[in-house]
Amino acid sequence: MNAGNQRQSPMERLSRYGNPLEEGGNPRSHRVQVEAVMQALSFGPFRVTPYARLLELGGSPVRLGSRAFDILCLLISRPGEVVSKSELMAKAWPNVTVGETNLRVHITLLRRALGDRQRGVRYVVTVPGRGYCFVACVNREASPLKQSVEDNTPNRPPLVWADCQLA
C-alpha cells in the first residue's frame, strides 16, 4: 500500500473520480461508478475494499503487493469465471509488456497471502492453457463508509448479496 494512500480519507481517495456535474457528465453513470468503488467484497474470512486497496483477514490488514491486489480484484469481480492470462496481465501491468512468468509469480504471492490450499481451502484455481478462476463464494456489500451514510436512511435493507457458483 502506498504511504500516501494511508493518510488520505476515503472521500479524498474518491475525489480523483471528479464531479460529473462540473464536467458536463452524466450524474447517474458517476453514481454507479462511485457505488462500485464504494463496494466491499468478502469471501471466507477475508474482506476486500478495492477503493482503499485493502485486504483484511478477520479485520486485520493482510500485506499484498499492488499487482497481486489488482489480480485479486479482477478475479473476485467475476467468481466462477475463467479470466484469461492476457486479461489479468493487462489489468496488473497496463501499457507494459510482460511475460506469463510475472503473472505466475504474483498469483503465487496472492495464493500465499490467502492461505490457498491450506486446510483444504481453495480460492484461485489454474485452468491450464486458459487462465485462472476464483472458486470461492463472494459476498458483495456496502463499504463501511457507504454503509454509515445509508444507516441514516430509514427503511433501507442492508446492501448484501452473493455471487456463488455451486457445482
Calculate mean pLDDT across residues 13-42.
49
Please indicate whether residue 19 or residue 61 has the higher confidence score (pLDDT): 61
Residue 54's pLDDT is 93
pLDDT tens for 91-107 read 999 999 898 999 999 99
User: What is the 8-class DSSP label of residue 129?
Assistant: T
Q: Which sequence spans correspond to the domains of the chain? A: 45-163
Phi and psi angles of residue 32, each rounded to the nearest 5 degrees, phi first? -60, -45
Residue 145's pLDDT is 52
User: pLDDT tier at 143 (50, 70, 90 boundaries)?
Assistant: low
> Could you tell me the CA-to-CA distances from 67 to 2, 47, 59, 89, 152 in Å, in that order?
12, 18, 22, 9, 36
pLDDT tens for 121-140 read 899 999 999 999 999 999 98
Its pTM stands at 0.66
What is the CATH number assigned to the segment(s) 45-163? 1.10.10.10
Write down the residue that cell numbers 474470512 correspond to: 45
SS3 content of the chain, % helix, strand, coil (to 5): 45, 20, 35
